Chains A and B, each alone.
Chain A
């Protein structure tokens, strides 16, 4: 029997049992669709995070105490504004150095209040982190030098405290101290469920007084060029190590942050794909089960085919092709559903989803392989049936 003929025979058999074929396919459809959809969500999340890290500004070096690693505990910062000056001298341009000292605080305006992150910063922040002010102005050098009580609000904070008024020019109470709003940031949106517009920037000197500390949490440097960014990081770390013997510092680049985040999200995507893969496996077991039932149910047909000249191989190939046809058709349907689902998720929910070719190829390949693997046993059983016994069965 020729191969084209075998496909036709298998196709006819599946069409003759439409309902059962459809239900069997459903397991594979769900498995493949969930692989495609979950991998798309994992990939989309990774891409989104990468964009956001890159959106922080290019050639960025973050200087923090301790090590930046998955699972390492944050260290208490010994850094002060004198260290920031020292780093500025190493870089050769103080305007490329930004700091933060951040804490959660309750901010009030009139009878409205909001719990947000209040960051003490230098006037260099917009340059280093590529932030833009939508209305009003950002902090100036003199604001920082004099510890002036002025604040630039994130878009969410501005909306929450001043829903029906222009925020710029209004008074604001941060932990019992009055500040004047001088600007509102251009919105950044959400990132991994975190509202990036939920923050207030005040001069670092004012923040230190507010929190009763001389410390800063971290220093960020916008390196002059990408080629010597690692070398610059080493020089900064050496300087800080000299100023604070016994404390370890790290200067990490965006690439390193991306690497760490990428590892985490890669593992996440892998776990999602594995869970979806299990459902694909269950779908495969369903195919095997139905094929075994089908062989039993069509024993007489098998007997007859053998009587009129079908070789064991012809029968085996027919049933194997039926299984492969079932899972391939299920795979294609599942791919379409998965892609559709991913587009829908990306369109109507904040969860990003990006369909990747490799996940489509993998899902289809696995579903076809599932058909072969789970079709072999029933097919062999069908091929080996004794025609005399098969013809006699009811």
Chain B
């Protein structure tokens, strides 16, 4: 195992200031996401899993501890540097899709490439190719309001992967979808995880969804209460299981 971990968190904490009162959301979380990992992040509301998700995605900085994403220490980065780190390393999939309205599927998918300085033609080519990989090659110029929920989430997945990130963070990706569509989206995510070796970290309430992950991290009151990888004492399964 020579590859560096995609994300490494050591004793990470995050405290919010609400009306002058300090509210701890995370109190010392340590975990490692390896390249190609498939992790389900579970826990009740208020357990801190969303806060952890934001930190792992470089949307937020920890109040304490050490957080390294893609080999870079998040606490030392400026806002523009953090933006670039997100662009190059992380892909986000949200429960509510978060597609730009009145904007075609291909332009939605191409959006991250805009901030990477890729030319308009190349952007469209790569976005179209990515939409093909998620099975929407025939929907390039449809707008979000012309697409079904499942199709919209596929567009969002294509957008997350068009930059070829090392980690795909999915926050309740099936939460707004019916079970059949949700299952199809989940299969797509798993297929892409297997094909491209992108690590998949998924926040979910759904026990069935969580059961399909190779690794489960359970949270409660801002700490990790269970980590199946830590229990097995190995994360080798991530690489070994990718092709299986």
Q: Is the CB of B117 within 8 A of A310?
A: no
Closest Cβ–Cβ distance, residue A308 to chain B (whole Å): 4
CA distance A12 to B104 in the complex (A): 12
User: Which residues in A have their C-beta under 8 angstroms from that of B84?
Assistant: 309, 311
Q: Does A301 contact B (CB under 8 A)?
A: yes
CA distance A275 to B129 in the complex (A): 57
Q: Is the CB of B98 within 8 A of A388?
A: no
Q: Is the CB of A308 within 8 A of B111?
A: yes
Taking A16-B101, A388-B54 as contacts, is the C-beta distance between A307 and B111 under 8 angstroms? no
In residues 28-70 of chain A, which contact B (Cβ within 8 Å)?
Answer: none
Q: Is the CB of B100 within 8 A of A309?
A: no
CA distance A314 to B83 in the complex (A): 10
Query: Interface size on A (CB < 8 Å)?
Result: 24
Q: Is the CB of A313 within 8 A of B60?
A: no
User: Which residues in B have their C-beta under 8 angstroms from that of A2?
Assistant: 117
Taking A16-B102, A307-B92, A309-B86 as contacts, is the C-beta distance between A1 and B115 under 8 angstroms? yes
CA distance A388 to B103 in the complex (A): 23
Residue among A12, A304, A305 with most chain B CB within 10 A: A304
CA distance A303 to B60 in the complex (A): 12
Q: Is the CB of A305 within 8 A of B111?
A: yes
Q: Is the CB of B86 within 8 A of A308?
A: yes
Taking A5-B114, A310-B83 as contacts, is the C-beta distance between A12 and B103 under 8 angstroms? yes
User: Which residues in B have their C-beta under 8 angstroms from that of A310?
Assistant: 83, 115
In residues 364-394 of chain A, which contact B (Cβ within 8 Å)?
Answer: 386-388, 391
Q: Does B174 contact A (CB under 8 A)?
A: no
The answer, among B83, B88, B114, B116, for a CB contact under 8 Å with A306, is B83
B96 (CB) vs chain A CBs: closest residue = A300
User: Which residues in B have their C-beta under 8 angstroms from that of A304?
Assistant: 98, 100, 111
Taking A1-B114, A307-B59 as contacts, is the C-beta distance between A300 and B80 under 8 angstroms? no
User: Which residues in B have their C-beta under 8 angstroms from that of A305?
Assistant: 111, 115
Taking A5-B114, A307-B59 as contacts, is the C-beta distance between A312 and B94 under 8 angstroms? no
User: Which residues in B have their C-beta under 8 angstroms from that of A1?
Assistant: 114-115, 117
Closest Cβ–Cβ distance, residue B120 to chain A (whole Å): 8
Closest Cβ–Cβ distance, residue A330 to chain B (whole Å): 22
B156 (CB) vs chain A CBs: closest residue = A304
Taking A16-B101, A388-B60, A391-B98 as contacts, is the C-beta distance between A307 and B86 under 8 angstroms? yes
Taking A16-B102, A304-B100, A311-B80 as contacts, is the C-beta distance between A387 and B115 under 8 angstroms? no
Q: Does A343 contact B (CB under 8 A)?
A: no
B residues with a Cβ closer than 8 A to A are 54, 57, 59-60, 79-80, 83-84, 86-88, 92, 94, 98, 100-103, 111-112, 114-117, 120, 159, 163
Known: A308-B163, A311-B84, A388-B60. 14 other contacts (CB 8 A): A1-B115, A2-B117, A5-B120, A301-B100, A303-B98, A304-B111, A306-B59, A308-B92, A309-B86, A309-B115, A309-B163, A311-B115, A391-B59, A391-B94
Q: List 24 A-B contacts (CB under 8 A).
A: A1-B114, A1-B115, A1-B117, A5-B120, A12-B103, A16-B101, A304-B100, A306-B59, A306-B83, A306-B86, A307-B57, A307-B59, A307-B98, A308-B86, A308-B112, A309-B86, A309-B87, A309-B88, A309-B163, A310-B83, A311-B115, A386-B60, A387-B60, A391-B98
7 smallest beta-carbon distances between A and B, as pairs: A309-B87, A308-B112, A309-B115, A311-B80, A311-B83, A16-B102, A304-B98
